[in-house]
Amino acid sequence: MTNRITVLGSINLDTTYHVNRMPQPGETIAASNKTSAAGGKGANQAVAAARSGASTAFIGMVGGDDAGQFMRTALAENNVDISNVFIQKDIGTGSAAIILNQQGQNSIMVYGGANHEITPATINQPAVIDTIRNSDFLIAQFETPQAATLAAFKIAREHGVKTILNPAPAKEVSAELLAYTDLLVPNETESEALTGITITDAKSLAQTGAHFAHLGVHNLLITLGSKGVYLYQEKQATVLPAYKVQAIDTTGAGDTFIGSMTAQLKPDFFNLEEAVNYGQTASSLAVQGLGAMPSIPTAAQIAVAQAKNLTSTDA
C-alpha cells in the first residue's frame, strides 16, 4: 500500500559555491564554480518521499518572484501536490547560500523569506486540514514557524495521522510540540541543543534516549553522519551502521533519509529498522551527487543498490 505523506516545510532556491577549502574568518577566497538547484529542507523531504513512491503533498509558501515559480514547478515535476503551496507576493522566496569544499562538507546560510510567513491561520484553512486528514504521515522541520507546525500536528493527532519532526536547524522546541510528535529525527547537533547532552559514546546515546523518553518522545532516530543512525524505542535501542561511500556533497543527505524512510514506514512503526536501512541506502546514494534535490535517488535506484548487497564496509 502506498504511503500518503504530507510535508509542511521550507522551500528554498539553493546556490552552491564550490571551494577547495572553507574560508577563515575575514578571509576572501575564490570559488571554482557556482551552481543553483531547487532545495529547502521541506521540499527536499517531499521530493525524496515522492521519488520513493509515496503519494506526497506539500504545505508551504513561496514569494511572488521567479524563484517561487521555479520552485513550484520543480515540486510539481517531481509528483508533489502543490495545491497548498501558497504565494506571498510581497516577500521573496526562501533561499540558501551553500559553501561546499572538496571533501563534500558544507556550510549553509539560509534566508527564510516566505517560509516565515506560514501561520496557524494558513494551516487551519479547510483545504489544508483535508490534506492533513487524508495522510498517513505529516513531516515538519524548523525552517518554518513552530506555531504553524503545532497547529498542523494537533490536526494530525485528531485524525490519527502520525507526525514526524525534524528539529532542524537546531533551536529550542516547546514541550507541547514534542507531546504531539510521534517520531523525532534530529542529528547529533540538534539532539544536543534539545537535551544538553553531547553524544560521544554508547553511554551518552543511552542517556539521550532516556532524556527524550522522559520528555514524552518514545520513537527517536538520531542521525550520526558516517557513524549511522541511533534508533531508540521503548523496547529497542541500537545503532544501525552507515554505508561507507565517497561523499561528493552532503547537502540534503538528512532530508533524503527522512523522506525516503517515511515512504517505507508503516504507521504503527513496526518496520522502523527496515525503513531506516532503506533511508540510509537513499542518503548514501544522494551524497555521491551534487546538489540537494538533484541528487535524491528514485525507488528504482535504491532497489538496485540494495540488490547489490550494499553494506557498511563494501560500498
| Active-site annotation holder among 81, 136, 182, 255 | 255
Q: Is 12 annotated as a binding residue?
A: yes
Is 176:268 a contact under the CB 8 Å cutoff? no
| Alpha-carbon torsion, ordered 155, 159, 162, 163, to 10 deg | 0
Length of the chain: 315
251 is in an annotated binding site: yes
Q: How many helices (H) and strands (E) does the chain have?
A: 11, 13
Say if residue 181 carries a ligand binding annotation. Answer: no
* 260 labeled part of a ligand binding site: no
Bridge partner list, 239: 230
Q: Is 295 annotated as belonging to a binding site? A: yes
User: Which of the 8 DSSP states describes residue 187?
Assistant: B
Q: How far is CA 211 from the centre of its chain?
A: 23
Known binding residue 41? Answer is yes
Q: Beta partners for 85?
A: 60
Cα–Cα separations (whole angstroms), residue 207 to 115, 141, 200, 228: 34, 24, 11, 18
Find out whether 255 is annotated in a ligand binding site.
Answer: yes
What span, in angstroms and rounded, lies between the C-alpha atoms of 209 and 212?
5
Cα(132)–Cα(127) distance, integer angstroms = 9
Confirm or deny that 289 is annotated as ligand binding.
yes
The CA distance from 149 to 139, in Å, is: 9
Residue pair 257/230 in contact by the 8 Å Cβ criterion: no
Residues 144 and 116: beta-carbon distance below 8 Å: yes
Question: CB–CB of 296/39 below 8 Å?
Answer: no
User: Is 81 one of the catalytic residues?
Assistant: no
Whether 143 has a binding-site annotation, put simply, is: yes
- In this structure, are residues 292 and 259 in contact, taking their beta carbons and an 8 Å threshold? no
- Tell me whether residue 44 is annotated as binding: yes
Q: Is 187 annotated as a binding residue?
A: yes
224 is in an annotated binding site: yes
Please tell me whether 228 is known to bind a ligand.
yes
> Is 14 annotated for ligand binding?
yes
* Residue 84 annotated in ligand binding: no
The annotation status of 227 as a binding-site residue, yes or no, is yes
Looking at the annotation, which residues are catalytic? Answer: 255
Which residue positions form the known binding site? 12-14, 40-44, 143, 187, 223-228, 249, 251, 254-255, 286, 289, 291, 295
Which residue positions form the known binding site for K(+)? 249, 251, 286, 289, 291, 295
Which residue positions form the known binding site for ATP? 187, 223-228, 254-255
Which residue positions form the known binding site for substrate? 12-14, 40-44, 143, 255
